[in-house]
């Protein structure tokens, strides 16, 4: 059973991490409280409602920053940056780096499970904290937190990441006649807070694993990881060989162009000599 002492200690620690003092610390307490800690209680005082609000606020903040930071990107590029930045894997990584794993208030049903649903809990808490900051300090407080913790990961390279990694992976593999397949290899956490782990295969070769709150998200993350490391699975020298081939073709094209120029110059001189002879004979 969660004690008031534990809640107070974790509230204090969370505010230290955030560098922000809450006027309404009940917002923050809800943001760091796992649903398992509210089991059997008539009032649900967990991050679930705040997560809903935080998801929308976070998306708007990231979209606005990307819009102003990259004025030359079209809608597709901006969308890909947003999707990559607010993905479950991205948010859980940032939350883990901040130390949120130590401040989440879990219930007794999570005792002894090794916090198997920690990946999704970290993502949810990050979004809930964004909402708590917004409710307590307004959009400036929420934006300041996102700018300090998540935005440093933003890069123009994200605009080249596929919006649908599974489709992009399938296109790449089908060039060699391979159709990727996905297998659910692990399910973590209690029924109300599941985390799924999927692995993508090319034939019998396992390419990569992905984690997500849904099977679809887990497969998408697996495809994304596979795309990032395709060179490792289909020949580590593939890119180098392609580059050599391109360089060789470019060199041959330059050589041919120079030969054509020399031939044209030779023909011009020959015409000039013939013209000079005809003038003398005339």
Q: Tell me, what's the pLDDT at 239?
A: 44
With residue 29 as reference, give the H or E element that holds it.
helix 25-31
Q: Which of 55, 110, 136, 193 is catalytic?
A: 55
Q: Which of 51, 127, 193, 219 is catalytic?
A: 127
Give the model confidence (pLDDT) of 234-273 as tens digits.
444 444 444 454 455 556 656 666 676 777 777 777 777 7
Spatial distance between the Cα atoms of 141 and 242, rounded to a whole number of angstroms: 49
Whether the pTM exceeds 0.75: the reply is: no
More confident residue, 204 or 44: 204
Q: What's the distance, CA 244 to chain centroid? A: 31
Q: How far is CA 168 from CA 172, 179, 214, in A?
A: 6, 12, 20
Query: Is 55 in the active site?
Result: yes
Identify the band that residue 278 occupies on the pLDDT scale cut at 50, 70 and 90.
low
Helix (H, G, I), strand (E, B) or coil at 123: helix
More confident residue, 181 or 256: 181
């Amino acid at each position: 059973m969660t004690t008031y002492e534990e809640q107070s200690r974790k509230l204090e620690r969370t505010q230290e991490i955030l560098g922000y003092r809450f006027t309404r610390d009940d917002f923050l307490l809800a943001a760091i409280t796992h649903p398992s800690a509210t089991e059997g209680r008539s009032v649900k005082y967990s991050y679930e409602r705040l997560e809903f609000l935080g998801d929308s606020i976070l998306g708007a903040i990231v979209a606005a920053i990307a819009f102003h930071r990259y004025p030359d990107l079209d809608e597709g590029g901006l969308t890909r940056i947003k999707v990559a930045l607010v993905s479950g894997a991205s948010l859980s990584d940032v939350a883990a780096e901040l130390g949120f794993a130590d401040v989440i208030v879990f219930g007794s049903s999570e005792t002894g499970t090794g916090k198997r649903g920690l990946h999704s809990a970290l993502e949810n808490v990050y979004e809930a904290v964004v909402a708590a900051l917004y409710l307590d300090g307004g959009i400036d407080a929420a934006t300041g937190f996102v700018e300090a913790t998540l935005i440093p990961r933003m890069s123009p390279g994200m605009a080249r990441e596929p919006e649908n990694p599974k489709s992009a992976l399938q296109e790449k593999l089908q060039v060699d006649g391979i159709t990727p397949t996905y297998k659910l290899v692990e399910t973590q956490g209690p029924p109300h807070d599941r985390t799924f782990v999927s692995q993508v295969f090319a034939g019998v070769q396992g390419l990569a694993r992905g984690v997500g709150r849904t099977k679809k998200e887990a497969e998408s993350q697996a495809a994304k990881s596979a795309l990032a490391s395709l060179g490792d699975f289909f020949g580590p020298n593939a890119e180098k060989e392609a580059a050599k081939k391109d360089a060789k073709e470019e060199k041959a094209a330059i050589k041919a162009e120079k030969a054509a120029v020399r031939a044209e110059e030779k023909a011009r001189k020959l015409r000039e000599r013939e013209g000079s002879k005809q003038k003398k004979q005339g």
